[in-house]
Amino acid sequence: MIKKTDPGKKVLEVKKVRNRPAPDFGNMSLDELCDLVKKCRYAYEDVSEIIEDKAYEECKLNGAEKTLDKIKDLARFFELMENKSEENSRDLADVYLLIGQIYQYNNSPQESVSWLSKAVIVDDRYDVPYHSLAISCLNMGQTERAIKSLEQEIAVAPGNYYSYLLLADIFEKEGRSADVEDTLKKLLARDPENIQALHRLIRFYESKDAGVDIRLLKRRLLSVSRRCNRLELIIRVFYLCRDGKFQDALKELDEWHLRTTDSAIVHLLRACIFGALKKHKEGKRELAAFRAANNGREETMMSLLGEFGDVFGRGTAKKLYHRLLSSSD
């Protein structure tokens, strides 16, 4: 976890000897790493990521209970510290967060909520615990509390764009259409080129208000010139195909392919386009390339087909899946 530290602020003093060789943290046990902090030899932020990795490793090997006892002991160290600085409070919040996330990882949402709530109380300007708390609340069916946690996260860190989309998902499931629209608009006010938000808003208007002219939103989406991630690529190709601009879509795929090693999704989208163009030989070739790019792994191919279907529709994804099966014969 990355933290900003004010060099002029006094925090837990950890004196480091100049030119002292750095310890091999990677080969240390979780106990040893926690002791480095409790004996004030290293600041928690120096070893927090390694402690987190070791904690999850130990959970897999020895179970969560023993691992959690060690992290809770580290939490007590910070709890008993007198005259805590802001940095110390953030460290305590981080330890509470780790405990809460381990409980979340081990499907114990009630305990997770308890510890994540402590993290929020200790440092209410720290955005990460709010998000984790929202996930655990959702797992417990506490929808309103999850909504409140996400709203607090956004208030603290308005740039956490994924949280807007998650919030819109929750509102959609709850049938709160006005809140869906408002959340997506707030995201687009902060990030006008957010392709996922533009896509979601277009879909929203198409399903809720047929009278809304979505052409401007679509132009905004297709005019985004920055480099896209995989999901954004799928969305852009979807709108090009929907308008019958198949050659533009193929060009977009060629350009994206040159900038990344992620070729599987390119082959899948090309297969879809060639299918629409009735170029069955080319489509079959792309599906074979798609299978090869995934080394024939069914789970990986189904995951990508799921991402594709989220945008193009389940029916289209199902047809591609059947074509994929027949292409392997």
CA gap 181, 195 in Å, rounded: 15
Q: Is 283 exposed, middle or buried (0-12, 13-18, 19+ CB in 10 A)?
A: buried
CA gap 291, 302 in Å, rounded: 11
Sequence letter at residue 10: K
- In Å, what is the CA distance from 197 to each residue of 151, 322, 324? 17, 31, 31
pLDDT mean for each 10 residues of the chain (329 residues): 38 44 85 96 95 96 94 98 94 98 96 98 96 97 98 95 97 97 97 97 88 90 94 98 97 93 94 97 96 95 97 96 83
Residue 12 has a pLDDT of 42
Task: State the maximum Cα–Cα separation within the chain, in Å, rounded to a whole number.
Answer: 73
Counting every residue written for the chain, the total comes to: 329
Residue 51 has a pLDDT of 97
Give me the residue label for tokens 């193929």.
250
The alpha carbon of residue 179 and the mean position of all alpha carbons in its chain are separated, in whole angstroms, by 22
- Residue 307 neighbours by CB under 8 Å, 6+ apart: 230, 231, 234, 265
Give me the residue label for tokens 């009735």.
278
Nearest-5° Cα angle at 217, 210 to 267: 105
Nearest-5° Cα angle at 282, 281 to 285: 90
Residue 327 has a pLDDT of 74
Give one word for 226, left, alpha or beta, with left for phi > 0 and alpha for psi -120 to 50. Answer: beta
User: Would you say 328 and 295 are in contact if contact means Cβ atoms under 8 Å apart?
Assistant: no
- In Å, what is the CA distance from 8 to each residue of 5, 41, 203? 9, 20, 50
User: Would you say 14 and 41 are in contact if contact means Cβ atoms under 8 Å apart?
Assistant: yes
Q: Spell out the alpha helix ranges (H) of 106-245.
A: 109-122, 127-139, 143-156, 161-173, 177-190, 195-208, 215-222, 230-242
- Residue 293 neighbours by CB under 8 Å, 6+ apart: 263, 264, 267
Residue 161 has a pLDDT of 95
Residue 15 has a pLDDT of 42
Residue 187 has a pLDDT of 98
User: Would you say 119 and 100 are in contact if contact means Cβ atoms under 8 Å apart?
Assistant: yes
Residue 10 has a pLDDT of 35
Residue 210 has a pLDDT of 66
Prediction pTM value: 0.86
Residue 20 has a pLDDT of 58
Q: In 10 A of CB 145, how many CB atoms?
A: 17
Residue 21 has a pLDDT of 65
CA gap 248, 132 in Å, rounded: 40
Q: Is 270 exposed, middle or buried (0-12, 13-18, 19+ CB in 10 A)?
A: buried
Could you give the domains of the chain?
A: 13-153 (1.25.40.10), 158-226 (1.25.40.10), 229-306+313-329 (1.25.40.10)
